[in-house]
Amino acid sequence: MIDTLLSLLSVDSVQGSPAPNAPFGLGTKEVLDRFLATATSFGMRTKDVDGYCGWAEIGEGELLGIPFHLDTVPFGEDWTHSPLGEVTDGLIYGRGTEDDKGPAVAVLYALKSLLDEGRKPRRRIRLIAGLNEESGWKCIERYLATEEVPAMSFSPDADFPVINCEKGVCHLALTLPLPEDVLSVTGGERVNMVADRATFEVKHLSDAAFSKCLKGGIKVKFIEGGFRLSAEGVSAHGSTPEKGENAILKVLYAVKSSGDFLADLYDAFHATDGSGLGISMSDERSGALSLNVGKAETGDGKVTFYLDVRYPVTRTEEEILSAIATAMPAATLEVKGRHLPLYVSPDGELVRSLLAAYNEVTGETARSIAIGGATYARAFPNAVAFGPVFPGEDSRIHQRDESISIDGFVKCAEIYREALVKLAF
């Protein structure tokens, strides 16, 4: 398992430039080839769907799907271990160890262990490998358009015990005219990551703002016509912005005394519950809304902020857009991506079987939960997310030094093995 995971981690599978049979870049194609080659060696039937995705299956009858992804977000900076795979002190480091190469390998070897015992599945089991999960889900769109849709599925791309409820996701581009005293704003890499870098260039800087910059560790440089402010933050997943330190917000806080425009931006964006934009809301099933300012850029006299909004399952995207338009009437809003909310009854075979597998292996009496993350479960009928992050675990998904413990990696495989026994053997 470790060797196979290290092989996948050694491939940089961040989305790149399209190439023949590699619409998301050569790295994504290479990591898919490696995964399918391993599955083929285990006796599974495989298919490369024109480089968009791939699958490996075994057995006959009704189809159980296990969708996951082999692409990753960018590495980011300041790693203390290799983002391309390193084993140190019982931990496997690398981009994708938790999200989502590690869980993919754990499921593959869980299935292999059952096949090695000579067991025959009563359902057909298909492992579905996506290559564009972090950048648009075009992989799964292609799969659903051309391949067989499973009767039930679980996606090993979130948290244990079982996630039967996922908040709605709305990725927005919010654009405003750039005032004369703000020269440029840049920050972040992806809308679904907390921005760990930001640079503002402004014509004027108040004494209070200058003092806040110095106290907050923001670098100030004199440039022609003004000042350049540079800040570093701490990245985190866009669904949990409170776990990171947003560099864009860090600068806005420091300079808000330098002008109404900057002050208004800080007031609008600083609260991760969306209250600054009038979109704070929650429900009993899925909890509270979250807001992440993931990226900012300027051009043509305008500044655009890319927002990641995760909203409760009983609310709607239309409510979100209407409230933001009311809060910021000068802004232009464009929806860049969306995922509708997910809710699967906890009383059906799928959730009951997965919960039983988790509880039997761990000795817990856990119940299903809700998250703000978006998994492939939303794309399939009768589907939920299942692992790999354990309750209370300090996950570093989308952060520097992403890792999975060897003990946790093995326990994941044990849980997935028991789940396969209950659902397909």
Note whether 182 and 202 are within 8 A (CB). yes
Q: Using the 8-state DSSP alphabet, how is residue 179 labeled?
A: P
**Which strand (E) or helix (H) includes residue 101?**
helix 101-116
Q: Are 292 and 307 in contact (CB under 8 A)?
A: yes
Question: Residue 3: what residue type?
Answer: D
**Other beta carbons less than 10 A from residue 253's beta carbon:** 20
Query: Is 360 considered catalytic here?
Result: no
- Angle at the Cα of 291 from the Cα atoms of 288 and 295, rounded to 5 degrees: 160
Question: Is 89 annotated in the active site?
Answer: no
C-alpha closest to that of 101 among 194, 234, 12: 12
The residue from 12, 71, 98, 166 that is catalytic is 71
Q: Please say whether the beta carbons of 77 and 112 come within 8 A.
A: no
Q: 241 preceded by cis ω (within 30°)?
A: no
Supply the DSSP symbol for 34: H
Annotated catalytic residue, options 133, 201, 401, 418: 133
Closest CA to 101 of 418, 415, 409: 409
Residues 200, 265: contact at Cβ < 8 Å? Answer: no
The phi, psi pair for 219, rounded to 5°, reads -75, 135
Residues 11, 419, 156: CA angle, nearest 5 degrees: 30
Q: Cis omega (within 30 of 0) on the bond before 161? A: yes
In a 13 Å sphere around the CA of 375, the CA atoms on its Cβ side amount to: 31
The CA-CA-CA angle for residues 252, 257, 263, to 5°, reads 50
H/E element, 297:
strand 290-299
Known catalytic residues are 71, 133
